[in-house]
Structure 1
Amino acid sequence: MTNLAQAVSGMGQIEDKTEEPVRAKPSLSRFFVFRGLLARRAEIALGIGGSVGLLLLWEAAARLGWTNPVFFPAPSTVIAAMGRMIVNQSLLWHAGISTMRVWVAFLIAAAMAIPIGILMSSYRVIGAPLEPVIDFIRYLPVPALVPLSIIWFGVGESTKIYLLWLGTFFQLVLLVADDMRRVPQEYVEIASTLGAKPHQILKDVAFRAMLPGLVDNLRITLGWCWTYLIIAEIVAADSGIGFVIWTARRYMKTPEVMAGVVVIGIIGLVTDQILRAIHRRAFQYL
Protein backbone atom coordinates (compact mmCIF):
# COMPACT_ATOMS: atom_id res chain seq x y z
CA MET A 1 0.00 0.00 0.00
CA THR A 2 2.81 2.36 0.81
CA ASN A 3 4.40 1.80 -2.59
CA LEU A 4 1.06 2.33 -4.33
CA ALA A 5 0.45 5.60 -2.47
CA GLN A 6 3.91 6.80 -3.37
CA ALA A 7 3.30 5.91 -6.99
CA VAL A 8 -0.03 7.76 -7.07
CA SER A 9 1.55 10.72 -5.32
CA GLY A 10 4.38 10.70 -7.85
CA MET A 11 1.92 10.61 -10.75
CA GLY A 12 0.10 13.58 -9.29
CA GLN A 13 3.33 15.49 -9.07
CA ILE A 14 4.13 14.62 -12.68
CA GLU A 15 0.70 15.79 -13.80
CA ASP A 16 1.10 19.01 -11.85
CA LYS A 17 4.42 19.64 -13.55
CA THR A 18 3.02 18.99 -16.99
CA GLU A 19 -0.01 21.18 -16.43
CA GLU A 20 2.06 24.14 -15.25
CA PRO A 21 2.56 26.48 -18.22
CA VAL A 22 6.12 27.10 -19.29
CA ARG A 23 6.87 30.80 -19.43
CA ALA A 24 9.27 31.87 -22.14
CA LYS A 25 12.00 34.20 -21.06
CA PRO A 26 11.74 37.66 -22.62
CA SER A 27 14.30 38.10 -25.36
CA LEU A 28 15.35 40.99 -27.57
CA SER A 29 15.57 38.59 -30.51
CA ARG A 30 11.82 38.93 -31.08
CA PHE A 31 12.45 42.55 -32.15
CA PHE A 32 15.03 41.47 -34.73
CA VAL A 33 12.98 39.02 -36.77
CA PHE A 34 13.87 39.17 -40.46
CA ARG A 35 11.16 41.24 -42.17
CA GLY A 36 9.20 41.19 -38.94
CA LEU A 37 6.48 43.67 -38.08
CA LEU A 38 6.24 46.23 -35.30
CA ALA A 39 3.19 47.87 -33.82
CA ARG A 40 2.46 51.31 -35.26
CA ARG A 41 3.04 52.99 -31.89
CA ALA A 42 6.39 51.23 -31.50
CA GLU A 43 7.50 52.43 -34.94
CA ILE A 44 6.54 56.02 -34.12
CA ALA A 45 8.27 55.84 -30.73
CA LEU A 46 11.45 54.44 -32.26
CA GLY A 47 11.41 57.08 -35.01
CA ILE A 48 11.00 59.95 -32.56
CA GLY A 49 13.52 58.45 -30.14
CA GLY A 50 16.15 58.03 -32.85
CA SER A 51 15.72 61.60 -34.06
CA VAL A 52 15.83 63.08 -30.54
CA GLY A 53 18.86 60.98 -29.66
CA LEU A 54 20.72 62.19 -32.74
CA LEU A 55 19.90 65.83 -31.92
CA LEU A 56 21.09 65.39 -28.32
CA LEU A 57 24.33 63.81 -29.51
CA TRP A 58 24.84 66.66 -31.97
CA GLU A 59 24.14 69.27 -29.27
CA ALA A 60 26.52 67.58 -26.83
CA ALA A 61 29.28 67.39 -29.44
CA ALA A 62 28.93 71.11 -30.18
CA ARG A 63 28.81 72.18 -26.53
CA LEU A 64 31.81 70.01 -25.57
CA GLY A 65 33.87 71.64 -28.30
CA TRP A 66 34.23 68.52 -30.44
CA THR A 67 33.14 70.50 -33.51
CA ASN A 68 33.95 73.98 -34.79
CA PRO A 69 30.79 76.13 -34.43
CA VAL A 70 31.75 78.09 -37.54
CA PHE A 71 31.37 74.96 -39.65
CA PHE A 72 29.06 72.80 -37.54
CA PRO A 73 26.88 74.81 -35.13
CA ALA A 74 24.70 73.24 -32.46
CA PRO A 75 21.03 72.45 -33.15
CA SER A 76 19.96 75.11 -30.66
CA THR A 77 21.92 77.70 -32.66
CA VAL A 78 20.34 76.52 -35.91
CA ILE A 79 16.84 76.69 -34.40
CA ALA A 80 17.50 80.20 -33.08
CA ALA A 81 18.72 81.25 -36.54
CA MET A 82 15.60 79.75 -38.08
CA GLY A 83 13.42 81.80 -35.75
CA ARG A 84 15.22 85.00 -36.70
CA MET A 85 14.91 84.17 -40.39
CA ILE A 86 11.17 83.57 -40.07
CA VAL A 87 10.69 86.93 -38.39
CA ASN A 88 13.22 89.10 -40.23
CA GLN A 89 13.86 87.39 -43.59
CA SER A 90 10.43 86.00 -44.55
CA LEU A 91 11.70 82.43 -44.49
CA LEU A 92 8.20 80.94 -44.67
CA TRP A 93 7.41 83.01 -47.76
CA HIS A 94 10.59 81.78 -49.43
CA ALA A 95 9.64 78.21 -48.47
CA GLY A 96 6.24 78.69 -50.09
CA ILE A 97 7.84 79.94 -53.32
CA SER A 98 10.18 76.93 -53.44
CA THR A 99 7.33 74.51 -52.73
CA MET A 100 5.30 76.01 -55.56
CA ARG A 101 8.22 75.66 -58.00
CA VAL A 102 8.87 72.06 -57.03
CA TRP A 103 5.22 71.04 -57.36
CA VAL A 104 4.73 72.79 -60.70
CA ALA A 105 7.81 71.10 -62.17
CA PHE A 106 6.92 67.75 -60.62
CA LEU A 107 3.32 67.77 -61.86
CA ILE A 108 4.46 68.67 -65.38
CA ALA A 109 7.02 65.85 -65.27
CA ALA A 110 4.45 63.35 -63.96
CA ALA A 111 1.82 64.37 -66.53
CA MET A 112 4.36 63.69 -69.28
CA ALA A 113 6.19 60.68 -67.83
CA ILE A 114 3.17 58.53 -66.90
CA PRO A 115 1.61 58.20 -70.38
CA ILE A 116 4.99 58.04 -72.15
CA GLY A 117 6.30 55.38 -69.76
CA ILE A 118 3.14 53.29 -70.11
CA LEU A 119 3.27 53.45 -73.91
CA MET A 120 7.01 52.66 -73.98
CA SER A 121 6.45 49.49 -71.99
CA SER A 122 3.23 48.47 -73.72
CA TYR A 123 4.30 48.96 -77.35
CA ARG A 124 7.88 48.18 -78.37
CA VAL A 125 7.48 50.29 -81.50
CA ILE A 126 7.38 53.28 -79.11
CA GLY A 127 9.83 52.05 -76.50
CA ALA A 128 12.60 50.96 -78.88
CA PRO A 129 13.41 54.46 -80.27
CA LEU A 130 12.77 56.36 -77.00
CA GLU A 131 14.71 54.29 -74.47
CA PRO A 132 18.24 55.04 -75.80
CA VAL A 133 17.50 58.78 -75.93
CA ILE A 134 16.05 58.85 -72.42
CA ASP A 135 18.90 56.74 -71.03
CA PHE A 136 21.42 59.15 -72.58
CA ILE A 137 19.79 62.30 -71.22
CA ARG A 138 19.14 60.99 -67.71
CA TYR A 139 22.87 60.45 -67.17
CA LEU A 140 23.70 64.07 -68.02
CA PRO A 141 24.45 66.11 -64.85
CA VAL A 142 21.85 68.82 -64.38
CA PRO A 143 24.39 71.44 -63.15
CA ALA A 144 26.26 71.10 -66.46
CA LEU A 145 23.08 72.07 -68.29
CA VAL A 146 22.54 75.31 -66.36
CA PRO A 147 24.37 77.49 -68.95
CA LEU A 148 22.31 76.00 -71.78
CA SER A 149 19.13 76.54 -69.75
CA ILE A 150 19.96 80.22 -69.34
CA ILE A 151 20.64 80.53 -73.09
CA TRP A 152 17.34 78.83 -73.96
CA PHE A 153 15.03 80.31 -71.31
CA GLY A 154 16.83 83.33 -69.87
CA VAL A 155 17.02 83.88 -66.12
CA GLY A 156 13.31 83.96 -65.32
CA GLU A 157 10.97 81.54 -63.63
CA SER A 158 10.84 79.19 -66.62
CA THR A 159 14.52 78.30 -66.22
CA LYS A 160 14.00 77.21 -62.62
CA ILE A 161 10.97 75.09 -63.53
CA TYR A 162 12.86 73.59 -66.46
CA LEU A 163 15.84 72.55 -64.31
CA LEU A 164 13.56 70.93 -61.73
CA TRP A 165 11.64 69.17 -64.51
CA LEU A 166 14.88 68.03 -66.11
CA GLY A 167 16.05 66.35 -62.92
CA THR A 168 12.75 64.49 -62.51
CA PHE A 169 11.19 63.57 -65.86
CA PHE A 170 13.84 61.29 -67.33
CA GLN A 171 14.14 59.29 -64.11
CA LEU A 172 10.39 58.99 -63.63
CA VAL A 173 9.56 57.89 -67.18
CA LEU A 174 11.78 54.81 -66.87
CA LEU A 175 10.34 53.95 -63.46
CA VAL A 176 6.84 54.13 -64.91
CA ALA A 177 7.87 51.87 -67.79
CA ASP A 178 9.30 49.36 -65.31
CA ASP A 179 6.07 49.43 -63.28
CA MET A 180 4.05 48.59 -66.38
CA ARG A 181 6.54 45.90 -67.36
CA ARG A 182 6.11 44.19 -63.97
CA VAL A 183 2.38 43.64 -64.48
CA PRO A 184 2.02 39.83 -64.74
CA GLN A 185 1.35 38.58 -68.25
CA GLU A 186 -1.34 36.31 -66.80
CA TYR A 187 -3.51 39.36 -66.12
CA VAL A 188 -3.34 40.36 -69.78
CA GLU A 189 -4.06 36.83 -71.00
CA ILE A 190 -7.06 36.40 -68.69
CA ALA A 191 -8.51 39.74 -69.77
CA SER A 192 -8.03 38.81 -73.43
CA THR A 193 -9.73 35.46 -72.84
CA LEU A 194 -12.71 37.26 -71.33
CA GLY A 195 -13.00 39.39 -74.46
CA ALA A 196 -11.39 42.65 -73.32
CA LYS A 197 -10.11 44.93 -76.05
CA PRO A 198 -6.49 46.24 -75.99
CA HIS A 199 -7.44 49.68 -74.67
CA GLN A 200 -9.58 48.06 -71.96
CA ILE A 201 -6.70 45.80 -70.93
CA LEU A 202 -4.42 48.81 -70.72
CA LYS A 203 -6.85 51.03 -68.79
CA ASP A 204 -8.78 48.59 -66.58
CA VAL A 205 -6.25 45.81 -65.95
CA ALA A 206 -2.61 46.84 -66.47
CA PHE A 207 -2.92 50.41 -65.18
CA ARG A 208 -4.77 49.37 -62.03
CA ALA A 209 -2.25 46.62 -61.37
CA MET A 210 0.69 49.02 -61.65
CA LEU A 211 -0.94 51.82 -59.65
CA PRO A 212 0.49 50.97 -56.16
CA GLY A 213 4.04 50.88 -57.53
CA LEU A 214 3.41 54.03 -59.54
CA VAL A 215 2.36 55.99 -56.44
CA ASP A 216 5.49 54.82 -54.62
CA ASN A 217 7.70 55.93 -57.51
CA LEU A 218 5.97 59.31 -57.64
CA ARG A 219 6.74 59.76 -53.96
CA ILE A 220 10.40 58.87 -54.53
CA THR A 221 10.87 61.14 -57.54
CA LEU A 222 9.23 64.03 -55.70
CA GLY A 223 12.14 63.74 -53.26
CA TRP A 224 14.57 63.82 -56.16
CA CYS A 225 12.91 66.97 -57.45
CA TRP A 226 13.64 68.70 -54.12
CA THR A 227 17.32 67.77 -54.41
CA TYR A 228 17.65 69.96 -57.52
CA LEU A 229 16.09 72.99 -55.83
CA ILE A 230 19.38 74.64 -54.87
CA ILE A 231 20.69 74.29 -58.43
CA ALA A 232 17.51 75.78 -59.86
CA GLU A 233 17.35 78.72 -57.43
CA ILE A 234 20.92 79.95 -57.81
CA VAL A 235 20.16 81.05 -61.38
CA ALA A 236 19.65 84.81 -60.88
CA ALA A 237 17.01 84.15 -58.22
CA ASP A 238 15.76 86.63 -55.65
CA SER A 239 13.40 84.29 -53.80
CA GLY A 240 13.17 80.71 -52.59
CA ILE A 241 15.00 78.65 -49.99
CA GLY A 242 17.84 78.00 -52.42
CA PHE A 243 18.35 81.76 -52.79
CA VAL A 244 18.35 82.16 -48.98
CA ILE A 245 20.90 79.36 -48.52
CA TRP A 246 23.14 80.63 -51.31
CA THR A 247 23.08 84.18 -49.94
CA ALA A 248 23.95 83.01 -46.42
CA ARG A 249 26.80 80.88 -47.79
CA ARG A 250 28.52 83.96 -49.23
CA TYR A 251 28.91 85.44 -45.74
CA MET A 252 29.76 82.13 -43.97
CA LYS A 253 26.50 82.24 -42.00
CA THR A 254 26.51 78.52 -41.32
CA PRO A 255 23.51 78.51 -38.92
CA GLU A 256 21.37 80.25 -41.56
CA VAL A 257 22.56 77.78 -44.23
CA MET A 258 21.70 74.82 -42.04
CA ALA A 259 18.37 76.39 -41.08
CA GLY A 260 17.43 76.54 -44.76
CA VAL A 261 18.48 72.93 -45.24
CA VAL A 262 16.43 71.88 -42.20
CA VAL A 263 13.35 73.64 -43.60
CA ILE A 264 13.70 71.68 -46.85
CA GLY A 265 14.04 68.48 -44.83
CA ILE A 266 10.94 69.25 -42.77
CA ILE A 267 8.85 70.02 -45.86
CA GLY A 268 10.06 66.82 -47.50
CA LEU A 269 9.39 64.72 -44.40
CA VAL A 270 5.85 66.03 -43.96
CA THR A 271 5.05 65.59 -47.66
CA ASP A 272 6.45 62.06 -47.68
CA GLN A 273 4.45 61.02 -44.63
CA ILE A 274 1.25 62.40 -46.18
CA LEU A 275 1.88 60.46 -49.39
CA ARG A 276 2.66 57.31 -47.38
CA ALA A 277 -0.65 57.67 -45.51
CA ILE A 278 -2.51 58.13 -48.80
CA HIS A 279 -0.82 55.01 -50.18
CA ARG A 280 -1.80 52.94 -47.13
CA ARG A 281 -5.38 54.17 -47.27
CA ALA A 282 -5.78 53.71 -51.03
CA PHE A 283 -4.16 50.27 -51.25
CA GLN A 284 -5.24 48.52 -48.08
CA TYR A 285 -5.42 45.21 -49.94
CA LEU A 286 -1.62 45.03 -50.28
Structure 2
Amino acid sequence: MFTNLFVFRARSSTLVEATIGALAAAALLLVWETAARGGLISPQFLPAPSRVFVALWSLITNQSLLYHTGISAARVWGAFLIAAVMAIPIGILMSSYRIVGAALEPLVDFVRYLPVPALVPLSIIWFGVGESTKIFLLWLGTFFQLVLFVADDMRRVPNEFVEVARTLGANSGHVMRDVALRSMAPSLLDNMRITLGWCWTYVIIAEIVAADSGIGYIIWTARRFVKTPEVIAGVVVIGLIGLVTDQLLRMIHRRVFRYL
Protein backbone atom coordinates (compact mmCIF):
# COMPACT_ATOMS: atom_id res chain seq x y z
CA MET A 1 0.00 0.00 0.00
CA PHE A 2 2.75 2.43 1.00
CA THR A 3 5.50 1.16 -1.32
CA ASN A 4 4.02 2.99 -4.30
CA LEU A 5 4.58 6.30 -2.52
CA PHE A 6 8.29 6.04 -3.29
CA VAL A 7 7.87 5.04 -6.94
CA PHE A 8 8.10 7.77 -9.57
CA ARG A 9 4.58 8.81 -10.66
CA ALA A 10 3.00 5.73 -9.14
CA ARG A 11 -0.67 5.84 -8.16
CA SER A 12 -1.84 5.56 -4.56
CA SER A 13 -5.25 5.45 -2.93
CA THR A 14 -7.06 8.58 -1.82
CA LEU A 15 -7.26 7.21 1.73
CA VAL A 16 -3.49 6.80 1.96
CA GLU A 17 -2.85 10.28 0.66
CA ALA A 18 -5.42 11.79 3.04
CA THR A 19 -3.87 9.93 5.98
CA ILE A 20 -0.39 11.17 5.12
CA GLY A 21 -1.68 14.72 4.75
CA ALA A 22 -3.42 14.57 8.14
CA LEU A 23 -0.32 13.16 9.85
CA ALA A 24 1.88 15.84 8.31
CA ALA A 25 -0.50 18.58 9.47
CA ALA A 26 -0.64 17.08 12.98
CA ALA A 27 3.15 16.93 13.15
CA LEU A 28 3.44 20.57 12.09
CA LEU A 29 0.90 21.66 14.71
CA LEU A 30 2.72 19.65 17.39
CA VAL A 31 6.05 21.29 16.57
CA TRP A 32 4.39 24.71 16.49
CA GLU A 33 2.63 24.15 19.84
CA THR A 34 5.83 22.86 21.46
CA ALA A 35 7.90 25.78 20.19
CA ALA A 36 5.32 28.34 21.33
CA ARG A 37 4.83 26.84 24.79
CA GLY A 38 8.58 26.37 25.23
CA GLY A 39 9.21 30.07 24.72
CA LEU A 40 11.11 29.63 21.45
CA ILE A 41 8.57 31.90 19.71
CA SER A 42 7.08 35.07 21.13
CA PRO A 43 3.28 34.61 21.50
CA GLN A 44 2.80 38.18 20.30
CA PHE A 45 4.19 37.20 16.89
CA LEU A 46 3.13 33.56 16.65
CA PRO A 47 0.78 32.26 19.37
CA ALA A 48 0.33 28.55 19.96
CA PRO A 49 -2.28 26.67 17.91
CA SER A 50 -4.32 26.10 21.06
CA ARG A 51 -4.64 29.88 21.54
CA VAL A 52 -5.57 30.30 17.89
CA PHE A 53 -8.30 27.66 18.29
CA VAL A 54 -9.67 29.48 21.35
CA ALA A 55 -9.63 32.76 19.40
CA LEU A 56 -11.37 31.06 16.47
CA TRP A 57 -14.13 29.75 18.73
CA SER A 58 -14.53 33.21 20.27
CA LEU A 59 -14.85 34.76 16.81
CA ILE A 60 -17.53 32.22 15.87
CA THR A 61 -19.58 32.65 19.05
CA ASN A 62 -19.07 36.34 19.83
CA GLN A 63 -18.25 38.11 16.55
CA SER A 64 -20.43 36.31 13.97
CA LEU A 65 -17.48 34.85 12.07
CA LEU A 66 -19.73 32.51 10.09
CA TYR A 67 -21.77 35.47 8.86
CA HIS A 68 -18.62 37.35 7.80
CA THR A 69 -17.33 34.19 6.11
CA GLY A 70 -20.53 33.94 4.10
CA ILE A 71 -20.20 37.58 3.02
CA SER A 72 -16.61 37.02 1.85
CA ALA A 73 -17.57 33.82 0.03
CA ALA A 74 -20.40 35.62 -1.78
CA ARG A 75 -18.03 38.38 -2.87
CA VAL A 76 -15.35 35.97 -4.06
CA TRP A 77 -17.75 33.71 -5.97
CA GLY A 78 -19.58 36.69 -7.46
CA ALA A 79 -16.37 38.27 -8.74
CA PHE A 80 -15.00 34.92 -9.90
CA LEU A 81 -18.13 34.01 -11.87
CA ILE A 82 -18.16 37.42 -13.53
CA ALA A 83 -14.48 36.97 -14.43
CA ALA A 84 -15.08 33.45 -15.78
CA VAL A 85 -18.10 34.46 -17.89
CA MET A 86 -15.98 37.19 -19.47
CA ALA A 87 -12.62 35.40 -19.66
CA ILE A 88 -13.70 32.12 -21.25
CA PRO A 89 -15.15 33.53 -24.51
CA ILE A 90 -12.45 36.23 -24.75
CA GLY A 91 -9.67 33.68 -24.23
CA ILE A 92 -11.17 31.35 -26.82
CA LEU A 93 -11.43 34.18 -29.36
CA MET A 94 -7.87 35.33 -28.64
CA SER A 95 -6.43 31.94 -29.52
CA SER A 96 -8.87 31.09 -32.31
CA TYR A 97 -8.58 34.32 -34.31
CA ARG A 98 -5.15 35.88 -34.56
CA ILE A 99 -6.51 39.40 -35.10
CA VAL A 100 -8.27 39.24 -31.72
CA GLY A 101 -5.17 37.91 -30.00
CA ALA A 102 -2.95 40.57 -31.55
CA ALA A 103 -5.31 43.28 -30.37
CA LEU A 104 -5.92 42.07 -26.82
CA GLU A 105 -2.83 40.14 -25.66
CA PRO A 106 -0.59 43.20 -25.11
CA LEU A 107 -3.29 44.87 -23.04
CA VAL A 108 -3.95 41.73 -21.00
CA ASP A 109 -0.24 41.17 -20.42
CA PHE A 110 0.17 44.78 -19.30
CA VAL A 111 -2.72 44.81 -16.84
CA ARG A 112 -2.05 41.41 -15.27
CA TYR A 113 1.36 42.59 -14.06
CA LEU A 114 -0.10 45.60 -12.27
CA PRO A 115 -0.21 45.08 -8.47
CA VAL A 116 -3.82 45.04 -7.29
CA PRO A 117 -3.05 46.96 -4.04
CA ALA A 118 -1.68 49.85 -6.10
CA LEU A 119 -5.04 50.14 -7.86
CA VAL A 120 -7.08 50.46 -4.67
CA PRO A 121 -7.05 54.30 -4.74
CA LEU A 122 -8.18 54.32 -8.38
CA SER A 123 -10.94 51.81 -7.67
CA ILE A 124 -12.24 54.05 -4.86
CA ILE A 125 -12.23 57.05 -7.20
CA TRP A 126 -14.08 55.07 -9.88
CA PHE A 127 -16.58 53.11 -7.76
CA GLY A 128 -16.61 54.77 -4.33
CA VAL A 129 -16.30 52.69 -1.15
CA GLY A 130 -19.29 50.40 -1.67
CA GLU A 131 -19.64 46.80 -2.72
CA SER A 132 -18.70 47.56 -6.33
CA THR A 133 -15.12 48.38 -5.36
CA LYS A 134 -14.67 45.07 -3.54
CA ILE A 135 -16.08 43.06 -6.45
CA PHE A 136 -13.94 45.04 -8.90
CA LEU A 137 -10.70 44.36 -6.97
CA LEU A 138 -11.47 40.65 -6.75
CA TRP A 139 -12.39 40.56 -10.44
CA LEU A 140 -9.20 42.43 -11.32
CA GLY A 141 -7.03 39.87 -9.56
CA THR A 142 -8.70 37.01 -11.43
CA PHE A 143 -9.88 38.00 -14.89
CA PHE A 144 -6.59 38.82 -16.64
CA GLN A 145 -4.90 35.67 -15.35
CA LEU A 146 -7.81 33.45 -16.34
CA VAL A 147 -8.17 34.87 -19.84
CA LEU A 148 -4.58 33.90 -20.65
CA PHE A 149 -5.09 30.43 -19.17
CA VAL A 150 -8.14 29.94 -21.39
CA ALA A 151 -6.26 31.16 -24.46
CA ASP A 152 -3.41 28.72 -23.75
CA ASP A 153 -5.89 25.86 -23.24
CA MET A 154 -7.44 26.56 -26.63
CA ARG A 155 -4.02 26.73 -28.30
CA ARG A 156 -3.17 23.28 -26.93
CA VAL A 157 -6.08 21.66 -28.79
CA PRO A 158 -4.27 19.53 -31.42
CA ASN A 159 -4.66 20.79 -34.99
CA GLU A 160 -5.20 17.18 -36.03
CA PHE A 161 -8.52 17.15 -34.17
CA VAL A 162 -9.70 20.23 -36.03
CA GLU A 163 -8.52 18.94 -39.41
CA VAL A 164 -10.25 15.57 -38.94
CA ALA A 165 -13.51 17.32 -37.94
CA ARG A 166 -13.40 19.54 -41.02
CA THR A 167 -12.64 16.54 -43.22
CA LEU A 168 -15.78 14.91 -41.87
CA GLY A 169 -17.80 18.00 -42.83
CA ALA A 170 -18.00 19.87 -39.53
CA ASN A 171 -18.46 23.63 -39.76
CA SER A 172 -16.77 26.16 -37.47
CA GLY A 173 -19.55 25.98 -34.86
CA HIS A 174 -19.37 22.20 -34.65
CA VAL A 175 -15.57 22.27 -34.46
CA MET A 176 -15.72 24.76 -31.60
CA ARG A 177 -18.48 23.01 -29.64
CA ASP A 178 -17.79 19.32 -30.29
CA VAL A 179 -14.01 19.29 -30.69
CA ALA A 180 -12.21 22.30 -29.22
CA LEU A 181 -14.33 22.85 -26.11
CA ARG A 182 -14.43 19.16 -25.22
CA SER A 183 -10.69 18.83 -25.69
CA MET A 184 -9.84 21.84 -23.52
CA ALA A 185 -12.47 21.18 -20.82
CA PRO A 186 -10.24 19.20 -18.38
CA SER A 187 -7.45 21.79 -18.32
CA LEU A 188 -10.01 24.63 -18.29
CA LEU A 189 -11.59 23.29 -15.08
CA ASP A 190 -8.15 22.95 -13.50
CA ASN A 191 -7.22 26.52 -14.40
CA MET A 192 -10.52 27.82 -13.04
CA ARG A 193 -9.75 26.01 -9.79
CA ILE A 194 -6.34 27.71 -9.63
CA THR A 195 -7.67 31.19 -10.37
CA LEU A 196 -10.44 30.77 -7.79
CA GLY A 197 -7.66 30.28 -5.25
CA TRP A 198 -6.02 33.50 -6.45
CA CYS A 199 -9.33 35.30 -6.06
CA TRP A 200 -9.40 34.32 -2.37
CA THR A 201 -5.89 35.76 -1.90
CA TYR A 202 -7.21 39.22 -2.79
CA VAL A 203 -10.13 39.15 -0.34
CA ILE A 204 -8.11 40.90 2.39
CA ILE A 205 -7.22 43.75 0.03
CA ALA A 206 -10.81 44.08 -1.15
CA GLU A 207 -12.26 44.09 2.37
CA ILE A 208 -10.05 46.76 3.91
CA VAL A 209 -11.71 49.39 1.71
CA ALA A 210 -14.23 50.94 4.12
CA ALA A 211 -15.64 47.50 4.89
CA ASP A 212 -17.78 46.56 7.87
CA SER A 213 -18.15 42.88 7.04
CA GLY A 214 -16.16 39.94 5.71
CA ILE A 215 -13.16 37.93 6.88
CA GLY A 216 -10.82 40.67 5.71
CA TYR A 217 -12.64 43.15 7.94
CA ILE A 218 -12.29 40.77 10.92
CA ILE A 219 -8.56 40.30 10.28
CA TRP A 220 -7.91 44.00 9.73
CA THR A 221 -9.79 44.95 12.92
CA ALA A 222 -7.85 42.39 14.95
CA ARG A 223 -4.56 43.66 13.48
CA ARG A 224 -5.39 47.19 14.60
CA PHE A 225 -5.54 46.01 18.22
CA VAL A 226 -2.58 43.59 17.84
CA LYS A 227 -4.77 40.54 18.47
CA THR A 228 -2.46 38.06 16.80
CA PRO A 229 -4.50 34.91 17.62
CA GLU A 230 -7.59 36.45 15.97
CA VAL A 231 -5.56 37.47 12.92
CA ILE A 232 -4.18 33.96 12.50
CA ALA A 233 -7.64 32.48 13.12
CA GLY A 234 -9.04 34.55 10.26
CA VAL A 235 -6.20 33.47 7.99
CA VAL A 236 -6.80 29.83 8.96
CA VAL A 237 -10.48 30.15 8.01
CA ILE A 238 -9.51 31.37 4.54
CA GLY A 239 -7.05 28.50 4.21
CA LEU A 240 -9.65 25.93 5.27
CA ILE A 241 -12.19 27.31 2.81
CA GLY A 242 -9.59 27.12 0.07
CA LEU A 243 -8.61 23.57 1.02
CA VAL A 244 -12.21 22.31 1.03
CA THR A 245 -13.09 24.11 -2.21
CA ASP A 246 -9.97 22.84 -3.95
CA GLN A 247 -10.61 19.24 -2.93
CA LEU A 248 -14.25 19.44 -4.04
CA LEU A 249 -13.23 20.77 -7.45
CA ARG A 250 -10.58 18.05 -7.75
CA MET A 251 -13.23 15.44 -6.96
CA ILE A 252 -15.56 16.92 -9.59
CA HIS A 253 -12.70 16.88 -12.10
CA ARG A 254 -11.98 13.20 -11.41
CA ARG A 255 -15.65 12.23 -11.74
CA VAL A 256 -16.38 14.26 -14.86
CA PHE A 257 -13.18 13.34 -16.68
CA ARG A 258 -12.80 9.71 -15.69
CA TYR A 259 -11.08 8.91 -18.98
CA LEU A 260 -7.95 10.93 -18.07
TM over 0.5: same fold? yes
Does 2:158 correspond to 1:165? no
2:219 corresponds to = 245
Q: CA deviation at 1:252?
A: 0.5
Partners of 2:110 and 2:34 in 1: CA distance: 47
Matched, 1:217 2:191: yes
Counterpart amino acid of residue 237 in structure 1 = A
State whether residues 153 and 188 of structure 2, in contact with CA within 8 Å, keep that contact through their aligned partners in structure 1.
yes
1:53 to 27, 40, 50: 27
Q: Which amino acid aligns with 1:40?
A: T
Aligned residue number for residue 49 of structure 2: 75
Equivalent residues of 2:4, 2:12 under 8 A apart = no
Q: 1:112 corresponds to which residue?
A: 86
Q: Deviation of residue 33 (structure 1)?
A: 1.3
Deviates more, 1:162-171 or 1:35-44: 35-44
Give the 3-state SS of the residue equivalent to 1:93 in structure 2.
helix
Which residue in the other structure is 2:176 paired with?
202
Q: Which residue of 2 aligns with 1:177?
A: 151
Larger radius of gyration: 1
What is the CA deviation profile of residues 255-281 of structure 1, one whole-angstrom value per residue up to 9, with x for unaligned ones? 000000001011111111111110000
Counterpart residue number, 1:8: none
Q: 1:89 is matched with which residue?
A: 63
Q: What SS does structure 2 have at the residue aligned with 1:220?
A: helix
Residue correspondence of structure 1 range 123-162 to structure 2 within 5 A: 123-162=97-136
Residue 32 (str. 1) matches residue 10 (str. 2): no
Give the equivalent residue in structure 1 for 2:75: 101
C-alpha deviations, 1:199-258, integer Å up to 9, x for none? 110111001000000000000000000000000000000000000000100110000000
Deviations 1:109-148 (A, max 9, x none): 0000000000100010111110000000000000000000
1:186 equivalent in alignment to 2:160? yes
What is the CA–CA distance in structure 2 between the aligned matches of 1:76 and 1:284, rounded to whole Å? 41
Unaligned 5+ runs, structure 1: 1-27
Structure 2 gaps, min length 5: none
Deviation at 1:41, TM superposition (A): 1.7
Return the match for 2:39 from 54, 65, 79: 65
Give yes or no for contact 2:116–2:141 (8 Å, CA) kept in 1: yes
1:30: how far off? 4.9
| Alignment-derived partner of residue 43 in structure 1 | 17
Q: For residues 5 and 43 of structure 2, what CA distance do their matches in structure 1 show?
A: 38
SS in 1 for 2:12: coil
Measure how far apart 1:39 and its partner are. 2.0
1:254 aligned partner: 228
Distance 1:112 1:49, change over 3 A: same
Q: Which amino acid aligns with 1:161?
A: I
Runs of 4+ in 1 over 6 A off after TM superposition: none
**Residue 193 (structure 1) shift:** 0.4
Which residue of 1 is the match for residue 245 of structure 2? 271
- Shift in Å, 1:44: 1.1
Report the CA distance shift for 1:264/1:190 in structure 2 as closer, same or farther (over 3 A). Answer: same
Q: CA deviation digits over 1:18-61, x for unaligned, max 9?
A: xxxxxxxxxx8753111122122211110111111111111111
Tell me, in whole angstroms, the C-alpha distance in 2 between the residues paired with 1:31 and 1:170.
37
Deviation at 1:177, TM superposition (A): 0.2
